[in-house]
Amino acid sequence: MIIFCIVVLVLPASESMPLAGWVQSPGHPRGYDPDSSLNWTECAPAGLKTTLTLIHLDLEEAYDCENDFLKIYADGELLFKLCGRKSMKELQTSINPFLQSSSGGCLFLSFLADYSNPVRHTGFRGFYTIHDVDECKDPENECTQLCNNYIGGYHCFCSQGYFLDPDQHTCRVSCNEDHTDSEVGVLMSPDWPGSSPENLLCSYILSAKEGLQYEIAFTGQFDVEMAANGQCKDSLTIKTLSDEETYCGNKHPPSLFISRSQHVEITFRTDDEGTNKGFRLKYKTIEMTCPGTVTEHSHLIPNKSEYIHGSEITVQCDEGHILNSDELKREYRSTCKTNGQWSLVIKCEPVDCGNPNLPDVTELTEEDPQTTYQKEITLTCTSEYYRMTGKGIFSCDASGTWVSESGQNLSEDLRICEPVCGMNTEIASGRVFGGKPATLGQIPWQLLHRSNPRGGAVLISDYWALTAAHVIDGYEDDTLSCWLGGMVDAQDKNMVNMETKKIIIHPDYIKVGKNGDPKNFDNDIALIKMTDRVPLGLNLRQVCLPDKPIVEGLEGTVSGFGASHKHSRSKLLLYGDVKIHPLHKCDSFGRTVTNNMICAGDDSGVDSCKGDSGGPFIYPRLLQNSANEPYSLLGLVSWGPSECGDQRYKGFYTKVHNYIDWIKETIAQN
């Protein structure tokens, strides 16, 4: 016979809540009827828990207890689903130890029998109690030192010399010290030089009279715990009016610390583990001084490491920095006050060049670049028909200007990207008098003045063109004269129209005489400036200016919309190859021939003619250049025999190489 001894504690609870009792199946111990059921719940107040002890279990046996069963829940979680018969020993060892709620939790039982019960089963019976929980045995109660358990709760308390923190769990050492008006003294962590107590929060206050500050010297070993990852587990914090620093481990305070403040607060913290010693320091008051720095990016006049109170100095911003309050000034006056602070502190901020106004056909290589002092920006050309004249790198200088390595200021007028010269589309279909038609893009620098006077010109930049002076002589003031380009058909509707802004004839060109004929064609060259930037592209590009003197025997190509075999003017752009001959072997027709001219022709009758004047004579011949040899402008169609294509005579061209300096100087001045 097994005898149970049931002990019931008398606990403080409401009169309506029983502290112990029995729970059993319907009809126990005679047996339960089919379709019988029972639901039972018992909850405990905070600090107490409910425990159930089963002393009898006899239910119908079935797979997964699908007929009759007893379910037991604790705090909403299913603990057991029981059926069949279990001995007292089985209940005591495998079931009862787990039938309890948490503190303030509930136990819930659900009994259910099905429609049949062929053999009588007595059911179940158990005894429940509501009793105290010993929270002091719970490792999560967070009492750092001592714990006292009572019915329904627990209380943390501390050893002698400690006080209980407002969190009611942490014990701390009472180590707060106020050293106001103390001129000299020693501070150390509790129990120095022994290990510091755990869970310390010590505050040491130093407060001197106005005009004084503290000199703090750390003595002995500085031993404050630091974790392996470099984070402070324990810490020493020194706070002044203007600064705050925290130290631990290898990051220890300077051996001599000047507060630059009449008030200093030192805070020492430890966690709940470790055997580190802490710290020890000596302090004394000294005369207040101000630091040798007022603000970053500035220097002081006169320059000293520190200043006594009452000192007046000039704060001057370093090069490339200005005062944020006044962009026109770089300096101001400030005075060292008795509290160790400067009377006036204005930041020196870097000069900001701002977003640059970019020249045409250029763009930044990055969006939203930094634009302050010494920062750099890089420009690139927006079109494949242009190339950089330099590196395209500009830096923000001290005056707030973007400047290149060579000292050029970035402006909208600065030429950073120059057109790529002398390149064309090499698609030949033929070759001017005796010539063949050019294909679109093959001679992209060819320009045409279609109306009176009819003539040609050569594009040498995205604003300027060259032509023969006699073509536009008398039309200098006709600044709206229209030039056409980007086509090989004079009637092409997709041609590019370019309006003339300025015409500049070479100053040594001899103007037309009364009889309508020039005295000679020496210096037969003129510059044309367009009103707007010429839109360069596949069919409209510039030719290169020559960089080498003319050599007799060279063969080049002349082109134009002038007279051909059958017509006084050509609808199509024609070109032909001609060879340079010595001037003395060319018939001058009674006109003056100078070294500013080129004589060129072809024995087969290829020649420039009326209407071609001002057009290009280029080298090398079309289809004869390589990728590394762009086309250069040797000459401009100038004059020749009255009958074009006469194999006995040659045509004359203005020698462009002789006018390179005049061309460049004129463009630069206009």
Q: Which residues fall in the annotated binding site for Ca(2+)?
A: 60, 68, 114, 116, 132-133, 135, 149-150, 153, 225, 234, 271
**Cα torsion for 619, 625, 631, 633, to the nearest 10°?**
0
Distance CA(613)–CA(98), nearest Å, equals 114
**How many CB atoms are located within 10 Å of the residue 595 CB?**
10
Distance CA(74)–CA(109), nearest Å, equals 9
Reduce the DSSP state of residue 600 to 3 states and report it. strand
**Closest by alpha carbon to 23, among 62, 55, 46?**
55
259, 261, 613, 638: the catalytic one is 613
List strands edge to edge, sheet with 312-317.
298-301, 312-317, 331-335
Backbone CA torsion sign across 224, 227, 230, 234: negative
Contacts (Cβ under 8 Å, ≥6 apart) of 294: 300, 313, 315, 334, 342, 345
Instruction: List phi, psi (to 5°) of 464.
Output: -120, 150
Say whether 155 is catalytic. Answer: no
**How many CB atoms are located within 10 Å of the residue 207 CB?**
16
Structure tokens at 473: 């002589």
Structure tokens at 14: 């409401």
**Cα torsion for 83, 86, 90, 95, to the nearest 10°?**
30
Say whether 613 is catalytic. Answer: yes
DSSP single-letter state for residue 614: T
Instruction: List phi, psi (to 5°) of 273.
Output: -155, 165
522, 524, 602, 607: the catalytic one is 524
User: Is-contact 195 275, C-beta < 8 A?
Assistant: yes
Distance CA(534)–CA(539), nearest Å, equals 12
Structure tokens at 618: 């280029």
Distance CA(135)–CA(142), nearest Å, equals 10
| CA 625 vs CA 370, 550, 556, 602: distances in Å | 45, 17, 11, 20
Angle at 108 between CA 105 and CA 112, to 5 degrees: 175
Strand 162-164 relative to strand 177-180, pairing: unpaired
Structure tokens at 309: 């109170």
Distance CA(310)–CA(342), nearest Å, equals 10
Structure tokens at 290: 């101000």
Q: What share of the chain is helix, strand, coil (3-state, %, to 5)?
A: 5, 40, 55
Provide the terminal-to-terminal Cα distance of the chain, rounded to the nearest Å: 126
Chain Cα centroid distance, residue 122:
80
Distance CA(591)–CA(600), nearest Å, equals 16
264 beta partners = 206
Distance CA(571)–CA(552), nearest Å, equals 32
28, 56, 179, 470: the catalytic one is 470
Residues annotated as binding site? 60, 68, 114, 116, 132-133, 135, 149-150, 153, 225, 234, 271
Distance CA(375)–CA(355), nearest Å, equals 12
Q: What is the CA radius of gyration of the chain?
A: 52
Catalytic residues: 470, 524, 613
